Amino acid sequence: MALLPILRYPDPRLKIVAKQVTRFDDALARLAADMAETMYDAPGIGLAATQVDHHVRMLVADVSEQHNELKVLVNPEIIESSVETSPYEEGCLSVPGIYDEVVRPAVIRVRAQNLKGESFELQADGLLAVCIQHEIDHLDGKVFVEYLSELKQNRIRTKLKKQERQKA
Ligand code: K1U
Ligand code: ZN
């Protein structure tokens, strides 16, 4: 297993729309294992393949307190969303140190495949629903800051550039 480098916003590769997975092979299983290791190490509660520069529709998530309920979703699709919405102060491993409120459907039903290519459905609410929607946005080339005002997005870009300069 390996830790993978995470792309930082506004890297243009975060805008690439990920492709459907058609091969359920050892390479896909290895990528899922590396993504899980990278997510736990960060630490985070989710990670999309896009964030580690692999443009395939796969995400990992674990919102459990014990970090022992890993979910791997291949080709995830939201098939139902509640009308009821709920706000959550989101973060993103590609936008370090920035947290802001995003309003999303409170409950979702998702259809996905596992690493063997078998289809399953799951219903999610609370943090899992937020996390899965955030990760599917990554697979569609969207970063959560795009829900914020242009003014906030400009401030975030300036702050991240400053962070990069201080690191160098
Ligand atoms: O997609 C990502 O960059 C991962 C992101 C997922 C996420 C968090 C919060 C709301 C929506 C989606 C993160 O994991 S950011 C880090 C984080 O939230 C966290 C880290 C350690 C413990 C608990 C939370
Ligand atoms: Zn993110």
DSSP state of 134: H
Per-residue pLDDT reduced to its tens digit, 5-20: 999 999 999 999 999 9
Sign of torsion, CA 50 21 129 3? negative
Its pTM stands at 0.97
Please state, in angstroms and rounded to a whole number, the distance separating the CA atoms of residues 34 and 3: 6
- Computed over every residue of the chain, the mean pLDDT equals 97
How far is ligand 1, taken at its centre, from the CA of residue 134, in Å? 9
Nearest residue (CA) to ligand 1, atom 22: 44
Nearest residue (CA) to ligand 1, atom 2: 92
Mean pLDDT by 10 residues, the chain (168 residues): 96 98 98 98 98 99 98 98 98 97 98 98 98 99 98 95 86
Indicate if ligand 1 lies below 6 Å from the C-beta of 43: yes
How far is ligand 1, taken at its centre, from the CA of residue 137, in Å? 14
CATH code for the domain defined by 12-167: 3.90.45.10
- Residue 147 near residue 113, CB atoms below 8 Å: no
The predicted structure's pLDDT at residue 168: 76
- Residue 121 near residue 111, CB atoms below 8 Å: yes
Per-residue pLDDT reduced to its tens digit, 17-46: 999 999 999 999 999 999 999 999 999 999
The predicted structure's pLDDT at residue 29: 98
